[in-house]
């Protein structure tokens, strides 16, 4: 299993698990909470078939990566991504962030620029600023984040089971676009994550990325479902699109938060069209 060291805690390296497949222009897939790189199954297959090099990795604290007691903030997540791109010698990549993974894309571009990046894709992303504040009145009530953290402290496995039903709008699509087994697989991945990482990342969701987005100058695609119960379309993708002149917004009708599974065909079509339009000339 491939790992790379990005940091250190006490006596041990902090290592990220990653997978690097295929050849062609690089696409880096950055997963959402509380899952891992395995959540990109349907995109991985489509991208490899279309002739792309596909890199997935597990965020620190999740999947098969190290589970330290530190570093669950976006400055650290962006630094981890920079280490990954540097150590794998990845250039001219398209960064694709799902949900909280969109935060890595924004913070990375804000901090490290686009020297290694050709394009950016935000899928059901938490950008530009999810937490309500005086200068962000359309954001989500901070009490929502506090309630999630309280539920995680009380019974994390139970909360994750309930959360994933809303993640996929399960009752709307069971037997049609999703199965019980997919939800169980997602629960198993989520349950094996670090309890501390699962908790601390909720605080990171409130990060304000508006200053980072002011530095974005690469072609950008935004994909979001109009039935997203976790990250509402109007609080995120609509505002992100307005902040990024020239970006393209693809709204997936009926799409829940986990639309990269339930609406994989629609997501993959939008993603591949964007990649092909920005594919480097041979």
What distance in Å separates the CA atoms of residue 55 and residue 75, rounded to the nearest whole number? 21
138 is catalytic: no
What distance in Å separates the CA atoms of residue 234 and residue 232, rounded to the nearest whole number? 6
217 is catalytic: no
Q: How many residues does the chain have?
A: 282
Sheet containing 248-252, strands listed edge to edge, beginning at the edge strand earlier in sequence: 3-9, 12-21, 53-57, 26-30, 93-98, 117-123, 220-225, 248-252
186 is catalytic: no
Q: Which of 252, 71, 280 has the alpha carbon at shortest distance from 260?
A: 252
Question: What's the Cα-to-Cα distance from 74 to each of 57, 163, 206, 249, rounded to whole Å?
Answer: 16, 23, 10, 24
What distance in Å separates the CA atoms of residue 235 and residue 140, rounded to the nearest whole number? 8
Q: 58, 64, 208, 228: which is the annotated catalytic residue?
A: 228
Q: 36, 39, 99, 236: which is the annotated catalytic residue?
A: 99
Q: 31, 224, 257, 263: which is the annotated catalytic residue?
A: 257
What are the b/e assignments for 157-178, b being 16+ CB within 10 Å? eebbbebbeebbbbeebeeebb
Q: Which of 211, 165, 216 has the alpha carbon at shortest distance from 187?
A: 165
Catalytic residues: 99, 228, 257
């Amino acid at each position: 299993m491939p790992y790379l060291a990005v940091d250190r805690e006490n006596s041990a390296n902090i290592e990220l698990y990653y997978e690097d497949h295929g050849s062609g222009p690089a696409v880096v897939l950055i997963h959402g909470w509380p899952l891992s790189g395995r959540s990109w199954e349907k995109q991985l297959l489509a991208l490899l078939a279309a002739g792309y090099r596909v890199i997935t990795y597990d965020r620190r604290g999740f999947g098969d990566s190290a589970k330290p007691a530190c570093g669950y903030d976006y400055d650290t997540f962006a630094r981890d991504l920079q280490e990954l791109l540097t150590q794998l010698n990845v250039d001219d990549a398209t960064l694709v962030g799902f949900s909280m993974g969109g935060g890595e894309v924004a913070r990375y571009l804000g901090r490290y620029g686009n020297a290694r990046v050709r394009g950016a894709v935000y899928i059901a992303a938490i950008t530009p600023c999810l937490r309500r504040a005086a200068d962000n009145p359309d954001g989500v009530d901070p009490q929502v984040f506090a309630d999630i953290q309280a539920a995680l402290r009380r019974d994390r496995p139970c909360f994750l089971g309930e959360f994933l039903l809303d993640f996929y709008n399960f009752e709307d699509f069971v037997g049609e676009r999703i199965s019980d087994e997919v939800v169980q697989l997602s629960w198993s991945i989520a349950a094996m994550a670090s309890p501390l990482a699962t908790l601390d990342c909720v605080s990171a969701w409130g990060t304000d990325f508006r200053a980072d987005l002011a530095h974005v100058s690469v072609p950008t695609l935004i994909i979001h479902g109009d039935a997203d119960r976790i990250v509402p379309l109007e609080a995120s993708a609509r505002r992100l699109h307005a902040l990024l002149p020239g970006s393209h917004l693809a709204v997936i009708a009926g799409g829940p938060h986990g639309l990269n599974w339930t609406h994989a065909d629609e997501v993959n079509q939008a993603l591949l069209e964007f990649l092909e339009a920005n594919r480097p000339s041979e």
